[in-house]
Chains A and B, each alone.
Chain A
Amino acid sequence: MAPARSVYQRDTNRAEKSRAVRKTGDRSVSADVLVQQLINGITLGGLYALIALGYTLVYGIMLMINFAHSEMFMSGGYVGLFVLKALTNESLVGVGTVAFFKGSSIGLIILFAMVFLSAAIVVGLLGVVIERFAYRPLRHAPRLAPLISAIGVSIFLQNAVLLWVDSKALPFPSVMPVVTVIDAGGVTVNSLQILILVTTLLLLAVLDTFVSKTRIGKAMRATSQDREAAGLMGIDINQVIALAFFIGPALGGIAGVFHGMYYGSVKFDMGFLPGIKSFTAAVIGGIGNLRGAMLGGFVLGILESLAAGFLSAGYKDVVAFAILILVLIFRPGGLLGESVVEKV
């Protein structure tokens, strides 16, 4: 953890000094800031990418935008928080267990593996249930119907958490120590930022291999190309769709836990902004394309950070959506999008 900031520790000398440095060596300082902003952007982009994968996976198979996905992300944050609280509650799991979890690095790894796994599984199952009851009955309805249903689910989930859990933001306990891994010339990278990046890349690699190499992946691709033909070839469509609705929300759930850990709190409406941004990222990258969602997430995260850092914090959303419009004008299929097949 960073040291507590307090008046008594205030070091005005340092501030004066660094300002003097700024005057003499402006270029080197701004290079540091640039690198730091890129790191901020990559971390934020990793979160966007994780969520965007869920949008793009579901779209690829169902050709529908799952607007309830932002609430999968939010639910992940809450499930992660509750599991973490339960596993570090001494009266629930015993003093020894808590000491083991908190005391050793192996314990911490096991603890957080359990937190992430349970968030992924619970939210994944939630996704499957939602698909079964809110989308499957509308599978042959006009395309607008499941979209509206998705918005309904989103509002329902938000309000369910609001009423049954809490309307206030809940602090996310900082059980995992966040250590500064790199600290070079004003640029700092902490362990959590690295964890987010590594997890995101790892999950994409696994998902990409899964979809392109395995039999079930092949079934998913076939369903994505032509649902009815795939069904005629003996593929269980319902299973494939349910799987997509498990994996997508599970990834969103993991992103929710990261969001809680990174920003230190969860709130019932926390999904809204990241949800919209990640959807934008998925569209920028080419919706339906897994690598595109990843690329879109990072592009958006980095551009947002640069805009906030070098223009003004107020402009970051303007930049994010201006990029979306530009991409839609010049590459309607997205950066990595396939040429759009007429399916509407």
Chain B
Amino acid sequence: MTSKRKRFVALVAATAALALVVTGCASKTETGGTDGGATEATVVKIGIGAPLTQGAVALGKGMERGANLAISQANEDPAVVDLGIKFESVSGDDQGDPKTGVTVANQFASDSKLVGVMGHLNSGVSIPASKVYNQNSIVMVSPASTNPALTQQGLDNVFRVCTIDSVQGPSAADSAFKDLGFTSAFVVDDSTPYGTGLADEFAKQFEADGGKMLGREKTGDKDSDFNALVTKIKSLSPAVVYYGGIYNSGALLSKQLSDAGVTAPLMGGDGMYDGEYVKLAGDAAAEGDFCTSIGYPIDQLPKGADFKAAFEAAYPGDAIAAYDAYSFDATNVIIDAVKKVAADLGADKVTSPEGKTAIIAAVAATNMDGVSGAVAFDANGDTTNKVITLYTVKAGAWTAYVK
């Protein structure tokens, strides 16, 4: 009896431990080019911090794809081989959760060969993680976190290649009021720093433009039932419903609005710019919805075609998500800085404290011609490239809106 019970307790403990390993920790996948050089190359690691199992997974996986593409290209670059460096990527799954994000950040920081982090996606994760990187002199380049607060903390190691919400939100409001002719709006957010920030900026500008705000509501980022809210929205008949949040819940809101017979389209930010949105909401509900996303559409960029070709060769069958190109650029920003520091100080110094500080300075001085356009940073670490594109769902896919 007791031995049986003991055995069972052990089994339960083992199950719990297994579950903890699965949920709590970063999954590590290491990729890198083949080591062709005769001499031992110095391994330089770049962390990829993104939601890979929970949260906005479709976008997070895209970040991983973009970063790994940049790294494998760099390892084939003769200049990198000559410098005696070999890049490796380490993926950390932040699950779109601030606490898990900090755990991932600490894991990255404990790796002495890791000099930079490409990430994170969610502003709510990036902000606490950035403090960990700052304490460890690790440069952080986010391809996707758009909350203005991220770069206003006075941390010299924090950069981003995407435009911020104080540009995106007002741009969306201007599009809604001026280009699309929506005179009234109901604004909803998902209570995350990203969603709240974006919705606030939208609301402010929409009212300044002369639009009428019919309501402002908060929901949870894991909510699935919006029917009560939908009924409220229906009774107010806004011309547009603005949602600050990620595609998972945004799609459900759009579906429930449509099911209830609300004809006003749903509009959102870059967190909704993914094919998953249309799949989850259903073609009928998503059709005619709007979102803004950062930068120009991929096929309008000078380097877009090259990127698309390389992407399709590396990931046959995958579609390019919102941040693949930005993650590619963000990773290249770190790679370029490492190359510069390796040339100045020598490859063996790159992972030293001195090297890491030099990398941060080199990133700050970036002047790169990336896939998303010219990449350079202002004093805060924000990109100087402030382009926002309006998209709409047409025939079941996000397409750049043409008036």
Q: How far is the CB of B190 from chain A (nearest CB, A)?
A: 11
Evaluate contact between B262 and A5: CB separation under 8 angstroms.
Answer: yes
Q: Closest approach, in angstroms, between the C-beta of B249 and any C-beta of chain A?
A: 10
Contact flags B288-326 to A (C-beta < 8 A → 1, else 0): 110000000000000000000000000000000000000
Q: Which of B57, B236, B255, B276 contacts A264 (CB under 8 A)?
A: B255
Q: Mark A241-272, 1 if CB is under 8 A from B, else 0.
A: 00000000000000000010001110101101
Asked whether B276 lies within 8 Å of A169 as measured between CB atoms, the reply is yes
Chain A contact-residue range equals 35 or more
Q: Which residues of A contact B15 (CB under 8 A)?
A: 152-153, 155-156
Contact B217 A314 (CB under 8 A): yes
- When the two chains form the complex, which single residue of B12, B57, B239, B256 contacts A168, counting CB atoms closer than 8 Å? B57
Binds A, one of B75-83, B109-117, B223-231, B346-354: B223-231
In the complex, chain A residues whose CB is within 8 Å of the CB of B180:
7
A305 to chain B: closest residue by CB: B228
Option from A36, A167, A178 in Cβ contact (under 8 Å) with B53: A167
- A308-B53 contact in complex given A169-B276, A174-B282, C-beta closer than 8 Å: no
Verify if B284 is at the interface (C-beta below 8 Å from A).
Answer: yes
Q: Size of chain B's interface in residues, with CB distance under 8 A?
A: 69
Nearest B-chain residue to A162, judged by Cβ = B53
Q: In the complex the two chains form, is A2's CB within 8 Å of B235's CB?
A: no
CB-based contact A309/B228 at 8 Å:
yes
A2 touching B260 in the complex, CB below 8 Å, given contacts A29-B235, A171-B280: yes
Q: Which residue of A lies closest to B257 (CB)?
A: A5
Q: Residue on B with the closest CB to A259?
A: B224
A18 B237 Cβ-Cβ under 8 A: yes
Residues in A whose Cβ lies below 8 Å from that of B260:
2, 188
Q: Please state if A10 and B259 are interface contacts (CB–CB under 8 Å).
A: no
A7 contacts B288, CB within 8 Å? yes
B38 sits at the interface (CB 8 A):
no
Is A137 a contact of B8 with CB atoms below 8 Å? yes
From residue A50, how far is it (CB to closest CB) to chain B in Å?
14
A8 to B238, CA, bound (A): 16
Chain A residue numbers with a CB within 8 Å of B52 are 167
Asked if A312 is an interface residue, CB under 8 A from chain B, the answer is: yes
Q: Is the CB of B19 within 8 A of A156?
A: yes
Tell me if A141 is interfacial: C-beta within 8 Å of chain B.
yes
Mark contacts of B21-49 with chain A using CB atoms, 8 A cut-off: 1 yes-contact digit, 0 otherwise. Answer: 01100000000000000000000000000
Contact of B225 among A44, A137, A151, A174 (CB under 8 A): A44
Q: How far is the CA of A259 from the CA of B279 in the complex (A)?
A: 17
Q: Is the CB of B265 within 8 A of A6?
A: yes
Given A138-B5, A167-B57, CB of A159 within 8 Å of CB of B229: no
Residues of B within 8 A of A3 (CB): 263, 284
If A7-B288, A37-B231, A152-B16 are given as contacts, then 18 extra A-B residue pairs at C-beta distance below 8 Å, sorted by A number, are A2-B261, A5-B265, A10-B264, A11-B263, A15-B237, A15-B239, A41-B228, A43-B227, A44-B225, A138-B8, A145-B9, A153-B15, A169-B280, A186-B235, A263-B255, A267-B248, A269-B54, A314-B218
Can you list 5 residue pairs at the A/B interface with Cβ under 8 Å?
Answer: A10-B265, A43-B227, A44-B225, A152-B15, A304-B228
Q: Which residues of B contact A (CB under 8 A)?
A: 4-5, 8-9, 12, 15-16, 18-20, 22-23, 52-54, 57-58, 180-181, 183-184, 188, 191, 217-220, 222-229, 231-232, 234-239, 248, 251-252, 255-265, 276, 279-285, 287-289, 392
By Cβ-Cβ distance, the 4 closest A-B pairs, closest first, are A6-B288, A308-B228, A314-B218, A155-B19
